[in-house]
């Protein structure tokens, strides 16, 4: 017997509204809908519409219906609600870290089912290995990398010059990062900081930027099976102590939680000389920074390191077979070298495959804007974004610990120990299988 969920009332209403077109379309076997995470209209929806049209023109008998579903969070809510109501869109772009959640809900099918020809196999091998880390588990591929990003360091060359630093050289190591930041932090007569050396955002999803620090300290936060975390490993504690020290000991980084959304603004206004943020901000910084800026790989601790981020294509388990096949064709088509390159130029996301960078369109772009190459060069050092079963809850345990340490209510070691205890409790059911 099917159990009701607490959301059933609203879910059924919303779900049937979402699902109805899919059911109607099911009669025309090669027409399928596609959930895409865009909050508002604008250039991105136009790009996707264009892709959909081109795909229809090139592959007769297929119809793609892109549905713009809001933020990533709203999109997965809609996709899973539709799934539970019995009719899901054939494909959705969701966070790569939602892989375990989607598997756990039984909402996705492995991509391997659709790989038949040698050409298919070659295509699956064509992505950057760093992006496949969040797309594969248990020997299967569940997601196709599409709009992917990573964390990089942006710096203000004018402020570097002012501080007597070489404007073309970003910090290469943790020690240099502190040293540079000290030179770049300015205080007024009363001791108030007017310019911070470095800002690393910690609101909302601090774990993502923290993964830069922890990877550089040589630690890995979770295993590839997604059922074990190592939040309190020595390297992780060392990494958090370094981050906390930037604010409390060296006083080159704001104390408390630094807002993700306003950090680029602070950078544009010269209130912080260096910031860590996503490569997805590249176009934003390029448009709004009124000074020459540089983009660099994150500084190295024991090693270089950064997490990847962003969204993958998933194929729904509830869609009819013909729609699944069509959705696979579409995902394959849109991740060809040329189209991945085009997508990179238009949006600032990292092109998901190495051969995209040899295409004329991307070559032309990076010749005039070499900063766009940094993300690619950093990928060999990149690790999988933190992702486990019961992902959002296990991640939140770490987020809470990080914020507690950054606001000074817990010592880093204690905060991480508490987070690990909580993560262990949550993951226990998944360790037995």
Residue with Cβ nearer another protein (263 or 342): 263
Applying CB under 8 A, the residues found at the interface with another protein are 3-10, 13, 73, 77, 80, 101, 104-107, 190, 192-194, 202-204, 254-259, 261-262, 265-266, 269, 271, 390, 392-393, 396, 399-401, 403-404, 406-407, 409
Tell me the CA distances in angstroms from 78 to 34, 48, 94, 288, one per residue in order.
12, 19, 11, 34
Residue with Cβ nearer another protein (26 or 193): 193
CB of 387 to another protein, least distance (A): 14
Measured between alpha carbons, how far is 193 from 363 in angstroms, rounded to an integer?
42
Residue with Cβ nearer another protein (31 or 98): 98
**CA atoms in the 13 A half-sphere facing the CB of 38:** 17
Answer whether 291's CB lies under 8 Å from 199's CB: no
Residue with Cβ nearer another protein (57 or 190): 190
CB of 123 to another protein, least distance (A): 29
CB of 41 to another protein, least distance (A): 16
Residue 187 phi, psi (nearest 5): -125, 150
Residue with Cβ nearer another protein (203 or 336): 203
CB of 262 to another protein, least distance (A): 4
CB of 158 to another protein, least distance (A): 17
Residue with Cβ nearer another protein (383 or 402): 402
129, two tokens: 């290995």
Looking at residue 356, the DSSP 8-state letter turns out to be G
CB of 204 to another protein, least distance (A): 4
The 10 Å CB-count burial string (b at 16+, else e) for 297-309 is bbbbbeebbbbbb
CB of 294 to another protein, least distance (A): 22
| Antiparallel, parallel or unpaired: β 136-137 and 63-68 | unpaired
> Using CB atoms within 10 A of its CB, is residue 63 exposed (0-12), middle (13-18) or buried (19+)?
middle
CB of 38 to another protein, least distance (A): 16
Residue with Cβ nearer another protein (52 or 108): 108
Measured between alpha carbons, how far is 147 from 310 in angstroms, rounded to an integer?
6
CB of 409 to another protein, least distance (A): 6
Measured between alpha carbons, how far is 23 from 311 in angstroms, rounded to an integer?
26
CB of 89 to another protein, least distance (A): 18
Residue with Cβ nearer another protein (105 or 120): 105
Tell me the CA distances in angstroms from 403 to 140, 240, 334, 406, 408, one per residue in order.
35, 10, 39, 5, 8
Q: How far apart are the first and last CA of the chain?
A: 25
Residue with Cβ nearer another protein (35 or 123): 35
Residue with Cβ nearer another protein (318 or 353): 318
Q: Which residues contact 229 (CB under 8 A, 6 or more apart)?
A: 221, 222, 223, 388, 394, 398, 420, 423, 424, 427
Measured between alpha carbons, how far is 316 from 24 in angstroms, rounded to an integer?
17
Residue 287 phi, psi (nearest 5): -75, -40
């Amino acid at each position: 017997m099917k159990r009701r969920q607490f959301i059933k009332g609203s879910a059924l209403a919303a779900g049937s509204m979402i699902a109805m077109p899919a059911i109607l379309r099911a009669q025309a076997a090669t027409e399928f809908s596609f959930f895409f995470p865009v909050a508002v209209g604008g250039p991105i929806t136009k790009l996707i519409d264009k892709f959909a049209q081109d795909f229809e023109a090139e592959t007769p008998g297929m119809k793609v219906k892109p549905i713009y579903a809001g933020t990533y969070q709203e999109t997965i809510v809609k996709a899973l609600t539709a799934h539970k109501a019995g009719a899901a869109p054939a494909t959705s772009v969701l966070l790569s870290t939602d892989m375990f959640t989607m598997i756990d809900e039984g909402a996705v099918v492995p991509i391997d089912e659709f790989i038949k020809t040698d050409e298919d196999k070659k295509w699956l091998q064509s992505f950057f290995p760093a992006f496949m880390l969040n797309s594969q588990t248990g020997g299967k591929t569940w997601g196709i990398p599409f709009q992917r990003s990573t964390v990089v360091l942006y710096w203000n060359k004018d402020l570097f010059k002012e501080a007597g630093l070489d404007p073309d050289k970003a910090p290469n190591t943790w020690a240099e990062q502190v040293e540079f930041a000290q030179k770049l932090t300015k205080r007024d007569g009363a001791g108030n900081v007017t310019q911070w050396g470095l800002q690393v955002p910690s609101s909302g999803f601090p774990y993502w930027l923290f993964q830069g620090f922890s990877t550089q300290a040589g630690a890995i936060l979770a295993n590839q099976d997604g059922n074990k975390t190592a939040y309190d490993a020595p390297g992780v504690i060392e990494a958090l102590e370094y981050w906390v020290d930037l604010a409390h000991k060296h006083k080159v980084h704001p104390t408390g939680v630094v807002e993700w959304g306003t950090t680029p603004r602070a950078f544009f206004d010269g209130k912080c000389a260096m910031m860590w943020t996503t490569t997805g901000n590249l176009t934003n910084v390029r448009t709004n920074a009124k000074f020459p800026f540089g983009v660099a790989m994150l500084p190295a601790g024991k090693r270089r390191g950064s997490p990847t981020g962003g969204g993958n294509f998933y194929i729904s388990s509830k869609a009819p077979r013909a729609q699944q096949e069509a959705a696979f064709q579409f995902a394959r088509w849109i991740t060809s070298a040329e189209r991945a390159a085009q997508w990179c130029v238009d949006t600032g996301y990292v092109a998901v495959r190495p051969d995209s960078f040899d295409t004329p369109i991307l070559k032309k772009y990076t010749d005039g804007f070499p900063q766009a190459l940094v993300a690619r060069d950093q990928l060999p050092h990149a690790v999988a974004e933190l992702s486990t079963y019961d992902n959002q809850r296990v991640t939140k345990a770490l987020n809470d610990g990080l914020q507690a340490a950054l606001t000074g209510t817990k010592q880093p070691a204690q905060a991480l120990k508490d987070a690990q205890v909580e993560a262990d409790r949550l993951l226990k059911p998944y360790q037995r299988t």
